[in-house]
Amino acid sequence: MKTVIIKYNAGNVQSVMYALDRIGVNYLWTDDEAEIRSADKVIFPGVGEASTAMSYLREKGLDKVIPSLTQPVLGTCVGMQLMCRHSEENNTDCMGIFDIDVKRFDSSNFKVPHVGWNNIFDMTSPLTAGLSENAYMYFVHSYYAELSQYTVAKCDYVQPFSAMLQKDNFHAAQFHTEISGKEGQVIIENFLKL
Protein backbone atom coordinates (compact mmCIF):
# COMPACT_ATOMS: atom_id res chain seq x y z
CA MET A 1 0.00 0.00 0.00
CA LYS A 2 1.32 3.42 -0.96
CA THR A 3 0.47 6.21 1.47
CA VAL A 4 1.28 9.81 0.56
CA ILE A 5 1.36 12.86 2.83
CA ILE A 6 0.81 15.99 0.76
CA LYS A 7 3.68 18.42 1.10
CA TYR A 8 2.62 22.05 1.17
CA ASN A 9 3.11 25.21 3.15
CA ALA A 10 1.51 24.01 6.39
CA GLY A 11 3.42 22.86 9.44
CA ASN A 12 3.18 19.97 11.90
CA VAL A 13 3.75 17.27 9.30
CA GLN A 14 6.34 15.71 11.62
CA SER A 15 3.70 14.55 14.11
CA VAL A 16 1.76 12.90 11.26
CA MET A 17 4.94 11.08 10.23
CA TYR A 18 5.52 9.93 13.82
CA ALA A 19 1.93 8.66 14.03
CA LEU A 20 2.40 6.59 10.86
CA ASP A 21 5.81 5.37 12.07
CA ARG A 22 4.19 4.17 15.32
CA ILE A 23 1.80 1.90 13.43
CA GLY A 24 4.44 0.73 10.95
CA VAL A 25 3.12 2.48 7.82
CA ASN A 26 5.54 3.51 5.08
CA TYR A 27 4.74 6.86 3.50
CA LEU A 28 6.03 9.42 1.05
CA TRP A 29 5.94 13.18 1.74
CA THR A 30 5.56 14.88 -1.61
CA ASP A 31 3.94 17.60 -3.68
CA ASP A 32 4.48 15.65 -6.92
CA GLU A 33 1.20 15.17 -8.80
CA ALA A 34 2.10 11.75 -10.24
CA GLU A 35 3.13 10.41 -6.82
CA ILE A 36 -0.07 11.74 -5.24
CA ARG A 37 -2.30 10.31 -7.97
CA SER A 38 -0.66 6.88 -7.74
CA ALA A 39 -1.10 6.62 -3.95
CA ASP A 40 -3.57 4.20 -2.38
CA LYS A 41 -4.22 6.63 0.50
CA VAL A 42 -3.62 10.40 0.68
CA ILE A 43 -3.23 12.37 3.91
CA PHE A 44 -3.64 16.16 3.77
CA PRO A 45 -2.61 17.54 7.18
CA GLY A 46 -2.15 21.13 8.16
CA VAL A 47 -1.30 23.68 10.77
CA GLY A 48 -1.13 27.29 9.78
CA GLU A 49 -3.03 29.98 7.97
CA ALA A 50 -5.53 29.40 5.17
CA SER A 51 -4.53 32.02 2.57
CA THR A 52 -0.80 31.22 2.67
CA ALA A 53 -1.52 27.49 2.39
CA MET A 54 -3.96 28.01 -0.52
CA SER A 55 -1.40 30.19 -2.34
CA TYR A 56 1.13 27.35 -2.19
CA LEU A 57 -1.45 24.79 -3.34
CA ARG A 58 -2.36 27.01 -6.32
CA GLU A 59 1.28 27.61 -7.18
CA LYS A 60 1.85 23.84 -7.36
CA GLY A 61 -1.48 23.09 -9.05
CA LEU A 62 -2.51 21.00 -6.05
CA ASP A 63 -5.75 23.00 -5.65
CA LYS A 64 -6.92 21.17 -8.81
CA VAL A 65 -5.24 17.82 -8.09
CA ILE A 66 -6.67 17.23 -4.60
CA PRO A 67 -10.39 17.66 -5.47
CA SER A 68 -9.96 15.32 -8.46
CA LEU A 69 -8.52 12.41 -6.44
CA THR A 70 -10.53 9.19 -6.38
CA GLN A 71 -8.70 7.24 -3.65
CA PRO A 72 -9.42 7.79 0.08
CA VAL A 73 -8.21 11.23 1.22
CA LEU A 74 -7.95 12.36 4.86
CA GLY A 75 -7.63 16.07 5.64
CA THR A 76 -6.93 17.25 9.18
CA CYS A 77 -7.17 20.65 10.90
CA VAL A 78 -6.30 23.35 8.32
CA GLY A 79 -6.30 20.55 5.74
CA MET A 80 -9.99 20.00 6.48
CA GLN A 81 -10.74 23.74 6.31
CA LEU A 82 -9.02 24.08 2.93
CA MET A 83 -11.28 21.31 1.62
CA CYS A 84 -14.28 23.59 2.26
CA ARG A 85 -15.57 26.35 -0.05
CA HIS A 86 -14.38 29.48 1.73
CA SER A 87 -12.65 30.48 4.96
CA GLU A 88 -13.15 33.69 6.89
CA GLU A 89 -9.43 33.50 7.70
CA ASN A 90 -8.09 36.28 5.48
CA ASN A 91 -11.18 35.91 3.25
CA THR A 92 -9.77 32.85 1.50
CA ASP A 93 -11.38 30.90 -1.32
CA CYS A 94 -10.59 27.24 -0.74
CA MET A 95 -11.00 24.03 -2.77
CA GLY A 96 -14.76 23.54 -2.41
CA ILE A 97 -14.78 19.77 -1.97
CA PHE A 98 -17.28 20.37 0.85
CA ASP A 99 -19.72 23.08 -0.20
CA ILE A 100 -19.67 24.88 3.15
CA ASP A 101 -17.91 27.80 4.78
CA VAL A 102 -15.32 28.00 7.54
CA LYS A 103 -16.07 30.70 10.11
CA ARG A 104 -14.24 32.26 13.02
CA PHE A 105 -15.43 31.44 16.52
CA ASP A 106 -17.21 34.54 17.81
CA SER A 107 -17.38 34.58 21.59
CA SER A 108 -16.61 36.80 24.53
CA ASN A 109 -17.22 33.90 26.94
CA PHE A 110 -14.91 31.29 25.41
CA LYS A 111 -11.20 31.54 24.78
CA VAL A 112 -10.33 31.57 21.07
CA PRO A 113 -8.48 29.60 19.77
CA HIS A 114 -10.15 26.41 20.97
CA VAL A 115 -7.13 24.51 22.34
CA GLY A 116 -7.13 21.19 24.11
CA TRP A 117 -9.11 18.01 24.55
CA ASN A 118 -12.80 17.95 23.71
CA ASN A 119 -15.28 15.19 23.00
CA ILE A 120 -16.80 14.31 19.65
CA PHE A 121 -20.30 12.89 19.30
CA ASP A 122 -23.03 11.92 16.80
CA MET A 123 -20.36 9.94 14.97
CA THR A 124 -21.40 8.33 11.67
CA SER A 125 -18.02 8.20 9.93
CA PRO A 126 -16.52 4.82 9.00
CA LEU A 127 -13.31 6.23 10.52
CA THR A 128 -14.86 6.30 14.00
CA ALA A 129 -15.72 2.58 14.03
CA GLY A 130 -14.66 1.12 17.37
CA LEU A 131 -14.71 4.45 19.23
CA SER A 132 -17.12 5.10 22.05
CA GLU A 133 -19.50 8.06 21.82
CA ASN A 134 -17.93 11.22 23.28
CA ALA A 135 -14.38 10.09 22.51
CA TYR A 136 -11.84 12.81 23.33
CA MET A 137 -9.71 14.39 20.60
CA TYR A 138 -7.13 17.17 20.61
CA PHE A 139 -8.12 20.46 18.96
CA VAL A 140 -6.20 23.65 18.13
CA HIS A 141 -8.22 26.06 15.96
CA SER A 142 -9.86 29.49 15.79
CA TYR A 143 -12.02 28.64 12.76
CA TYR A 144 -14.62 25.92 12.33
CA ALA A 145 -16.64 24.25 9.58
CA GLU A 146 -20.35 24.81 10.02
CA LEU A 147 -22.72 21.87 10.50
CA SER A 148 -23.95 20.50 7.17
CA GLN A 149 -25.02 17.40 5.27
CA TYR A 150 -21.32 16.43 5.25
CA THR A 151 -21.00 16.39 9.05
CA VAL A 152 -20.17 12.89 10.32
CA ALA A 153 -19.07 13.87 13.85
CA LYS A 154 -19.75 16.95 15.96
CA CYS A 155 -18.02 18.86 18.72
CA ASP A 156 -19.35 21.66 20.89
CA TYR A 157 -17.29 24.78 21.66
CA VAL A 158 -19.00 28.18 21.54
CA GLN A 159 -21.60 26.28 19.45
CA PRO A 160 -21.87 22.85 17.83
CA PHE A 161 -19.58 22.53 14.79
CA SER A 162 -18.30 19.85 12.44
CA ALA A 163 -15.59 17.77 14.08
CA MET A 164 -15.50 15.51 10.99
CA LEU A 165 -16.75 15.76 7.42
CA GLN A 166 -17.20 13.20 4.66
CA LYS A 167 -18.17 13.34 1.01
CA ASP A 168 -17.54 10.30 -1.17
CA ASN A 169 -13.82 9.40 -0.83
CA PHE A 170 -12.99 12.60 1.06
CA HIS A 171 -12.75 12.38 4.86
CA ALA A 172 -11.73 15.21 7.16
CA ALA A 173 -11.20 15.91 10.86
CA GLN A 174 -10.89 19.28 12.56
CA PHE A 175 -8.93 17.75 15.43
CA HIS A 176 -5.40 16.42 15.20
CA THR A 177 -5.77 12.66 14.75
CA GLU A 178 -2.00 12.26 15.02
CA ILE A 179 -1.82 13.71 18.55
CA SER A 180 -5.15 12.43 19.87
CA GLY A 181 -3.73 9.33 21.56
CA LYS A 182 -5.25 5.89 21.06
CA GLU A 183 -8.57 7.28 19.78
CA GLY A 184 -6.79 9.32 17.10
CA GLN A 185 -4.78 6.25 16.14
CA VAL A 186 -8.02 4.28 15.68
CA ILE A 187 -9.17 6.92 13.17
CA ILE A 188 -5.88 6.75 11.24
CA GLU A 189 -5.96 2.94 11.21
CA ASN A 190 -9.60 2.90 10.05
CA PHE A 191 -8.70 5.33 7.26
CA LEU A 192 -5.80 3.14 6.14
CA LYS A 193 -8.17 0.13 5.97
CA LEU A 194 -10.64 1.85 3.61
A 10 A CB-CB count for 19 gives: 20
Burial 49-72 (b: 16+ CB within 10 A, else e): bbebbbebbeebebbebbeebeeb
Tell me the β-bridge partners of 159. Answer: 157
**Hey, which residues are catalytic here?**
77, 176, 178
Q: Where are the beta strands (DSSP E) in 46-142?
A: 73-76, 84-87, 92-93, 98-104, 114-120, 135-141
Q: What kind and span of H or E run contains 184?
A: helix 181-193
**Edge-to-edge strand ranges of the sheet holding 92-93:** 92-93, 84-87, 98-104, 143-145
